[in-house]
Chains A and B, each alone.
Chain A
Amino acid sequence: MSTRTGRRVGVPRGVIRDSPLRPDGVPKLRGEFEYAQDLRAEGMLWAATVRSPHARARIVSIDLAPALAIGGVHACLTADDVPGRATFGLEHADQPVLAGDEVKFWGEPVAVVAAEDDDTARRAAAAVEVRYEDLDALTDPEEADDRDEVFRRLSIRRGDQGLRGSVVVVGEYEVGMQDQAPLGTEAGLAIPDGQGGVDLYATSQYVHVDQEQVVASLGLRPDQVRAHPTGIGGAFGAREDLNLHIHLCMLALHTGRPVKMVYHRSESFTGHVHRHPAWLRYRHESDEDGRLVRVEARVMIDGGAYASTTSAVLANACYFAVGPYRSDSVAVDGVGARTNNPPCGAMRGFGAVQVCFAYEAQMDRLAAALGMDPLDLRELNALGTGDPMPTTGQVIETPLPTIEVIRSLQAMPLPEPATMAHHSELPGGSGLTTEPHHVRRGVGYALGLKNLGFSEGSDDYAQARVRLTPDGAVVETAAIEVGQGLVTVLAQIVRSALGISRVDVAHVDTSRIDSAGSTSASRQTQLSGGATLEASVKLRQRVLDRHEGEELDDDGVWKGDELVVSWSVLAEEGWEETVTFRHPPTTGPDENGQGVIHADFAVAGHRAVVDVDTELGLVKVVRVDTAQDVGLALNPQSVRGQIEGGILQGVGLAVMEELVMKDGVILNPTFTDYLLPTILDAPDVEALLIEREGSWGPFGAKGVGEPPTISSTAAVAAAIRAATGKELNRVPIRPQDIALE
């Protein structure tokens, strides 16, 4: 045994609260990182999809012959070729793998083809002749409600329903259909294993739930399908549902060759679910001092043709319909309509975004009616730890620093008036539409509240394994890195818990580890991070116990100044620890929507500053500052990245992002017409992280991904109202909404 005098090396670098360089940064910067789009295999075929040009139609006939006649085409498959369960779905398996008798939305897959190359596959898909008989499409969600075409209704009643306030404000609000528009479109590669099974490498946020659905529709044993995490170009909710996964596996098994498919952007706009458009009616009642007495809300979201996560999104919209405010009497009625519009599902914020736009507009109106400062009104009613949720009655047990969020926003300095010396500082930018004297500045505030992790009694867990190897430690997980930085933070957690510096994160397939759950609901840092922390702590204790050591570091196990076991010996002993981490249990709602529905909560607030050319209706979002409840920022740089990115998506919904629908058809499924904010549209952001101990996440961390997107839209809308004096009850706010009566 070697000995060493003096204290050995202290805490390794790259532990929690540091911001170490992300391990995938170098390959991403060099263009070497392998995304699903970049996968190749020997003998690989390319696939393409035949899609419905109708919002609703009966399929009269499908003639594959013209496609099969094209040289290089190997397979054309339809609904008749689905070997197992004909449908799939995250919560309800109601969506056909390929449409059989009837197509129910524009862009619904009808057939898939595989050919020698991408070009041939696309030409073959275009050559498939499908005869349709057009049917009446149901595209109005209110009409769907009348006809009882709904995925879910949810009613919440809490408190004395007879309570009434003396000050009343009512409003109706609308939120357009936003798209996640991750830069990487849907892509994947399926490789047959030669024994009737298949390996799938495809864009995903949750490989275990993909695998279950693929198994069911292929009619295979679970061990015959392995879903592998792969490189993902963003997600934001768009990759929770299946799209090309089953198709690829069918084609691979049918042809006996690897098959690859990559959606083009227009296809991507129909190939994944969108943020639900919503219509909201509110009535807020307060006493003379501004204390909320009663909130009534009616929440309508359009789920489109198939269920996806509409039930859960509707529930979230209803549970968070009041926001981070106390109210003794609440009535919320929610409807998730089934129509022939494109299916909607998960997007960052998951129902909380839509209601936030409405309840924050209501809070501003109430403040105006009371003659109160809008932030004072919010502080007066702020929900905090120990309070019951205004909707579900659940007592909030983890820290909820709503008041600190409000006071922080209040204390942040406002920016100086723009110098407007450069056209990029003016609304209209390089379009040179606007002179400084056309501009009015507005400032608006909004707060948002959302759950973290899965709710309503779901068994929400994540498994992670920590192993010691000659090179250090490896975290094995099936959790998906979509860009948020999970690979960085899991390694930080291990460094902090084990005390070693060399840590890798390995993404392993569904056959090698249990589920990590979805990379969604702001949950992976808390859930997979929690599993990783617990595995690390247990592993360290077992190692120290076995070797009667006191400390562990890169050199091995120490007792005092004596190295009792070297790392190389330790690594040969084959140490590993696998932990399944669960958050506190939740329950489903009772008949009044009451219960311990959520595992944790986070609150954030935004202050937007806008310059508006009121005559032309053009908006320059100057700044969006924020204070956010983060529990503990495990990686401050990544947290800031989530905040800045999330805010810009919120700004996008406020002023430009909308899929425009007409009779069930998306009119703008391209990047020419679905406008994403450019670097010239991005506001400056100052972020204040509010850290409070007490959450069950690792080291007290809370999820941080969604809150930036929830109230940023509402804050920008409030700022535009302040600049223009208009009601602006719909987002995105278009120039005509501002400029015309």
Chain B
Amino acid sequence: MEIVHPNSIDEALAGLREGAIPLAGGTDLMVEVNFGHIRPERVIGLRRLAELKEWDGQRIGAGVTWRRIETQGPKALAEAARTVGSPQIRNAGTIGGNLGTASPAGDGHPFLAAVDASIELASTTSQRTLPWQEFFTGVKETARRPDELIMAVHLPAGLPERQCFGKIGIRNAMVIATVCAVVTRADDGKTTVALGSVAPTPIRATGAENMISSIGHPSAGDLVEFQRLVSEEVRPITDHRSTEGYRRHGAGVLARRLLDRCLS
């Protein structure tokens, strides 16, 4: 077993090209190791690579921890950060690691989808930035090639000030989302609603967005219709954590409440 602690991005990328496994906060990878599911022989330790922790305006380095995002992130992303695992997990886990794992329940994902963020990837031979829709390809599957490193998240400029995150879980800490969602509302009425845990990847409820964006001052009835459309658009499953029916219901209610919060 071998670990390399690169001094630069280039060194990290060279290691990835040779087949090493990237290790950031360890909060997902080590669970797999501890459960005997994987046994990496060569690892690139990214935890202390300063370049990955850079946070420059709209570009959030992949190595930025949830702890930092809790206090420094845009409002709805900070709200999401406060629900990631426990204090211990937030101190170690990073936004890049969250993307690399690409769990359907990833707490950070709905925000990225709601604001149309993109994900910067690099290898020794290439550099590309993918819109979130192209990055997430399935349950715990992404467009990242094994030789690529998740470098950063790019947020668009001029995020709507009105943005709200919410997460339904069975207990009050350390819980995987039954449903999580972000709603944003711009001054011109343009509304986005993105949801997690209700499909293989984070999704946008575009029908609901279109319906509500055109209404300057939505009525209570409009909110109910918005809720109905969100419930219709999500594609949840039944598993040991919840049911399809509840997730559908919860997605609609949560989206409606978040929109209501944005409007007030």
Contact = CB atoms under 8 A, between A and B. Distances in A.
Interface string B15-56: 000000000000000000011100000000000000000000
B171 A656 contact: yes
Contact of A739 (B172, B174, B240, B250): B250
B101 to A, nearest CB: 13
Most chain A CB within 10 A, of B34, B164, B257, is at: B257
Contact of A681 (B82, B172, B177, B261): B172
Contacts of A736: 242-243, 245-246, 249
A668 B170 contact: no
Say which size band chain A's interface belongs to: 35 or more
Interface in A409-449: 424, 428-435, 438
B165 A430 contact: no
A90 to B, nearest CB: 30
A677 B169 CA distance: 12
Nearest to B82: A430
A620 B173 CA distance: 12
Interface in A608-623: 615-618, 620
Nearest to A659: B240
A616 B170 contact: no
Contacts of A424: 172
B89 to A, nearest CB: 11
Given A430-B173, A740-B246, A735 B168 contact: yes
A126 B243 contact: no
A284 B215 CA distance: 56
B253 A432 contact: no
Contacts of B165: 432
Contacts of B177: 431
B168 A618 contact: yes
B167 A433 contact: yes
Nearest to A431: B167
Contact of A266 (B35, B167, B174, B253): B35
Contacts of B167: 428, 430-433
B36 A122 contact: yes
Given A429-B172, A430-B173, A432-B167, A673 B240 contact: yes
B213 to A, nearest CB: 23
Nearest to B239: A667
A195 interface: no
A126 B39 CA distance: 13
Interface string B225-255: 0000000000000011111011001100110
A5 interface: no
Nearest to B36: A122
How big is chain B's contact interface, by range? 35 or more
A432 B79 contact: yes
Contact of B176 (A438, A616, A673): A673
A395 interface: no
Given A122-B36, A424-B172, A673-B241, A739 B166 contact: no
Among A432, A618, A667, A739, the one with the most B-chain Cβ atoms within 10 Å of its Cβ is A432
Contacts of B169: 428, 431
A314 to B, nearest CB: 27
Contacts of B98: none
B254 A616 contact: yes
B191 interface: no
A678 interface: yes
Contacts of B173: 429-430, 678-681
A637 to B, nearest CB: 27
A433 B176 CA distance: 14
Nearest to A674: B240
Given A433-B166, A673-B240, A677-B171, A617 B246 contact: yes
B211 interface: no
A660 interface: yes
Nearest to A655: B170
Given A435-B257, A616-B254, A673-B241, A430 B246 contact: no
B171 A678 contact: yes
A734 B239 CA distance: 13
Interface string A378-418: 00000000000000000000000000000000000000000
Contacts of B172: 424, 428-431, 620, 678, 680-681
Contact of A740 (B36, B83, B245): B245
A679 B167 CA distance: 19
A735 B242 contact: yes
B243 A433 contact: no
A675 interface: yes
Nearest to B248: A740
B83 A739 contact: no
A672 interface: yes
B175 interface: yes
Contacts of B241: 668, 673
Contacts of A432: 79, 164-167
A668 B261 CA distance: 35
Interface in B146-172: 164-172
Nearest to B180: A431
B257 to A, nearest CB: 7
A429 B245 CA distance: 23
B178 interface: yes
A424 to B, nearest CB: 7
B168 A431 contact: yes
A678 B165 CA distance: 22
Contacts of A615: 253
B83 A735 contact: no
B11 to A, nearest CB: 29
A678 B86 CA distance: 10
A660 B243 CA distance: 13
A655 B79 CA distance: 25
Given A428-B168, A433-B166, A680-B172, A735 B240 contact: no
Given A660-B240, A673-B241, A735 B170 contact: yes
Nearest to A735: B246
A428 to B, nearest CB: 7
A203 B82 CA distance: 37
A736 B176 CA distance: 16
Interface string B126-142: 00000000000000000
Nearest to B246: A736
B170 A675 contact: yes
Contact of B254 (A430, A433, A673, A677): A433
Nearest to B176: A672
Interface in A685-741: 734-736, 739-740
B176 A739 contact: no
Contact of B240 (A123, A429, A618, A668): A668
A432 B246 CA distance: 18
A636 B140 CA distance: 51
A675 B171 contact: yes
A679 B173 CA distance: 8
Contacts of A431: 83, 166-169, 172, 175, 177, 180
A424 B175 CA distance: 15
Contacts of A660: 240
A681 B171 contact: yes
A544 B261 CA distance: 78
Question: Which residue of B36, B166, B172 has the most chain A CB atoms within 10 A of its CB atom?
Answer: B172
B99 to A, nearest CB: 20
A67 to B, nearest CB: 14
11 contacts: A123-B36, A266-B35, A429-B172, A430-B167, A431-B175, A433-B166, A433-B254, A433-B257, A616-B168, A735-B250, A740-B246
Given A429-B173, A673-B176, A675-B171, 10 more contacts: A122-B36, A430-B172, A432-B166, A668-B241, A675-B175, A678-B171, A678-B172, A680-B171, A739-B253, A740-B249
Sort A-B residue pairs by CB-CB distance and give the 6 closest, nearest first: A429-B172, A736-B246, A680-B172, A431-B167, A667-B240, A660-B240
Interface of A: 122-123, 126, 264, 266, 424, 428-435, 438, 615-618, 620, 655-656, 660, 662, 667-668, 672-673, 675, 677-681, 734-736, 739-740
